[in-house]
Chain A
């Protein structure tokens, strides 16, 4: 099983700040990597697929990069609606999710 490890577990950020979330795979997943945003009581929302392609309707402030085992999700200027938990997911070998990074208000 491909283990996905996200860091940090919690990130305290002020609105307007640049935010970088990390995701590491236990073995190469090529660019078969997605990022999701999850808010309480809501379904996950696809942000990024193919490691760097924004999903339909996702604002340009969200960007993804990486390949192989190291990936990042960058939010260029954090907005109030961006406070949430973010999950990475690999789909190169079956499907596994990371444990999530909670982005909270500083």
Chain B
């Protein structure tokens, strides 16, 4: 069974940093495009960042460009999201998701983790 498990969320002050992790099981993460998607409280879904197959290319939403960095570690079969200069509006549940067919990681998503909550507040 293909599974994703996120960790690393928590409470952080505005301007602070967090690193989210997403460990894959049942498949090799670097052979698929991957993305992070967030759901803000009471709102819908927002794509945040994507990583292409083998980590060759990275993609970011305008709202996080320059503050967030996506990466992958093949040896740990884990996807990361380094989040710096966090703002209140970054408060959300963050999901990692496996692309169903696009090597860029910018397609539809057929496997999702359960999410990790990030709260940015003083």
In the complex, which range does the number of interface residues on chain B fall in?
A: 20 to 34
Other A-B contacts than A36-B45, A95-B47, 9 sampled, CB-CB below 8 A, are A32-B107, A44-B97, A49-B107, A50-B108, A87-B45, A89-B45, A89-B108, A91-B108, A100-B44
Contact string against A for B residues 22-58, beta-carbon threshold 8 Å, 1 for contact and 0 otherwise: 0000000000000101000000111100100000000
Residues on A with C-beta less than 8 A from B107 are 32, 49, 91
* Given contacts A43-B95, A49-B100, A95 and B112 within 8 Å (CB-CB): no
Q: A55 at the A/B interface (Cβ < 8 Å)? A: yes
Q: Is the CB of B108 within 8 A of A43?
A: no
Residues A43 and B114 in contact, CB atoms below 8 Å apart: yes
Q: Between A and B, how many residue pairs show CB distances below 8 Å?
A: 56
**A2 → chain B, closest Cβ, in Å?**
12
